Structure 1
Amino acid sequence: MAEFSGIVVYRKDYRERDMLVKILTDRFGFKMFFIRGARKKGFRLSAAILPFTKATYIGTINDEGLSFISAVKDSSQYQTICQDIILNAYSAYILGLAEAAFNDNRPLNEWYIKIEKAISLINDGLDPAIVTNIIEIQLLGRFGVKPNLRDCVICHKSVGIYDFSESYGGLLCQNHWHLDSHRLQLDRRTIYFLRFFSQVDIMRLGSIRVKKDTKDKLRLTLNQIYNNDVGVNIKAKKFLDDIKKWPHIVLNDDR
């Protein structure tokens, strides 16, 4: 038996009375658990296997195949996220992105702490778009894509005016803009936040405000990097993209 902490990512029905539950664990990474009898009325662990539940679990961990949970303690739910469809989608996207970046059954180490913190920040009211951007930028290295956002990729000048070049894999200072006619034409504020988000310690992140116009440009920039260089498709991300087109929805990140 092993004791471990975890966040429920999702669950799905299995057979007539059972469920499969994916949990991001602190010690074993993403694991799929077989929960016998989970669909029965009055199942004793039902509250602990709801999505966006954080708990300490006791169970049997198998290196391959399904694992099992026998007991739960210290269970709590991210209530704000559960009650808001937009916050739910941002959090699901972060978890889905982490799942794509790490193989199942592989410990995330410090990344478990970062992901847990990101979910907590969203639940506590921090701008979900900003928290998501930070995770997106800092996770790029896990996908083998790590743009140089420290200095100019050509001359390594670290102070000045920059633009982002996909071809060169990072920043170009103004002296080298002529090398890439297809650079992204980003304004100074967007470049500032790209650089800041790549280095900020999410564990120490406090209140942060970013203008909507800048957030929109950050979103377009990260979409381009992920679409062209990473190529992962996360269901929750598509939902977030689609819901922005719904005129009757007021998004938290647009306030």
Structure 2
Amino acid sequence: MSRITTDFRGIIMFRRDYRERDLLVKILTDKIGPAMFFVKGAKKRGFRMAADILPFTHGEYIGSLTDNGLSFINTASDTSQYRSIATDISKNAYATYILALVDSAFQDGQGIGGWFNQVVAALALINNGLDEQVIANVIETQLLVRFGVAPTWDRCVICGRDDLLLDFSEQYGGMLCRNHWHLDERRLHLDQRTVYYLQRFSTLNLQKLNSIKINPVTKRRLQFVMDSLYDNEVGLNLKSKQFIRQMGQWEEKLKKS
């Protein structure tokens, strides 16, 4: 595809100033994945699409799409903002992180298949009050493959057994059953509840999720696994993730004060 004018669904990921009156707006689209749009006159008073290009807005757009260079928006319809995400600092942080992860995992101008609907579902769930860390962990778990890391979650990587206690080994890139724990003394020493959720997260369709509650201890262990994999295996260091970690440190200080 060089350039086509078409309708598309989109989520406003972020935007930044460009020249005096214009904006560059990054949109996750259902047609060509992440794409940067040039919006002329967007900072003028009374700009007709001002509300349609606010961060965390989603809806229907018509525009000129290109897989190489800047795309353009002509009109927008049926747009709405994830208001709870936009106004809650924690939800905002995790939603920003999810969009940044997707932006890093997929090349601009290339389709992302079913991932668009998965992200839409993730943001809707966060906006509607489901645990933002848990939803982000699901996205993190499933995006590992896009970053070239494909852990084996459901069985032992050595013998293939799934009927024994399992623990995760970074060295072996997946689960080790109890018979093979001796192969890696530095395995993560996970409890079986955490193992269960990691296995579930790896295949969970967020579009079918209505509720999920995980105790704080398990949540910390799940985040520890994701942090270990993204720090050690992926090597991704996003500003949005740094902010989430800072929030966690602030919360701990408040609890102790």
Report the equivalent of 2:119: 115
Task: Give the distance between the partners of 1:208 and 1:75, measured in 2 at CA.
Answer: 28
Report the equivalent of 1:50: 54
The one-letter code sitting in structure 2 at the alignment partner of 1:112 is F
How large is the Cα RMSD of the aligned pairs?
A: 1.4
Matched, 1:206 2:210: yes
Contact 1:165/1:184 (<8 A) preserved: yes
Report the equivalent of 2:148: 144
Following superposition, the deviation at residue 199 of structure 1 comes to 2.1
Following superposition, the deviation at residue 211 of structure 1 comes to 0.6
Following superposition, the deviation at residue 249 of structure 1 comes to 8.8
Contact 1:243/1:249 (<8 A) preserved: no
Report the equivalent of 1:231: 235
Contact 1:148/1:171 (<8 A) preserved: yes
The one-letter code sitting in structure 1 at the alignment partner of 2:200 is F
Matched length: 251
Contact 1:2/1:60 (<8 A) preserved: yes
Report the equivalent of 2:72: 68
Distance change >3 Å, CA 250–CA 108, structure 1 → 2 = farther
The one-letter code sitting in structure 2 at the alignment partner of 1:220 is F
Report the equivalent of 1:154: 158
Q: Deviations over 1:106-163 (max 9, x none)?
A: 1111011111111111111111111111111011111110100010111111122111
Contact 2:67/2:108 (<8 A) preserved: no
Q: 1:87 aligns with which of 66, 76, 91?
A: 91
Structure 2, unaligned stretches of length 5 or more?
Answer: none
Three-state SS of the structure 2 residue aligned to 1:75 is strand
Q: Deviations over 1:61-93 (max 9, x none)?
A: 123111111111111110110110110110011
The one-letter code sitting in structure 1 at the alignment partner of 2:224 is L
Contact 2:153/2:198 (<8 A) preserved: yes
Structure 1, unaligned stretches of length 5 or more?
Answer: none
Q: What is the aligned-residue identity percentage?
A: 49
The within-5 A match list for 1:88-103 is 88-103=92-107
Distance change >3 Å, CA 198–CA 250, structure 1 → 2 = farther
TM-score by length of 1: 0.95
Moved >4 Å (runs of 4+): 248-251
Following superposition, the deviation at residue 45 of structure 1 comes to 0.6
Report the equivalent of 1:165: 169
Task: Give the distance between the partners of 1:31 and 1:249, measured in 2 at CA.
Answer: 39
Report the equivalent of 1:197: 201
TM-score by length of 2: 0.95
Following superposition, the deviation at residue 248 of structure 1 comes to 8.3
Matched, 1:245 2:249: yes
Task: Give the distance between the partners of 1:5 and 1:208, measured in 2 at CA.
Answer: 27
